[in-house]
Amino acid sequence: MKKEVISRAPMKRSTPKEYYRMSIVIDPELHSAFKAATAAQGKQMSEVILEFIRNYVKTHAPAARPAQKGGRA
């Protein structure tokens, strides 16, 4: 019997071209609790972490310095 091969169109990603991956060390109990909390909200853990990071940067990022002439900061 001959197997039928089904070809699929490549999936299009709805994410930007480039992301950086971060790794953190986390207590297993905290990880489980965070996973359960995000699942209860119907969200992915990475979605919630990215939201936290964006808010943190918005609140704590230093003000941008104006560019100086002469090429040195």
Overall pTM > 0.75: no
Measured between its terminal Cα atoms, the distance across the chain in Å is 71
Phi, psi of 40 (to 5 degrees): -65, -25
User: Does residue 52 contact residue 43 with C-beta atoms inside 8 Å?
Assistant: no
Q: Output the pLDDT for position 2.
A: 58
Tens-of-pLDDT digits for all 73 residues of the chain? 555 555 555 545 565 678 899 999 999 999 999 999 999 999 999 999 999 999 999 999 987 666 666 655 5
Residue 11: per-residue pLDDT:
47
Taking only the tens place, the pLDDT of each residue in 13-32 is 565 678 899 999 999 999 99
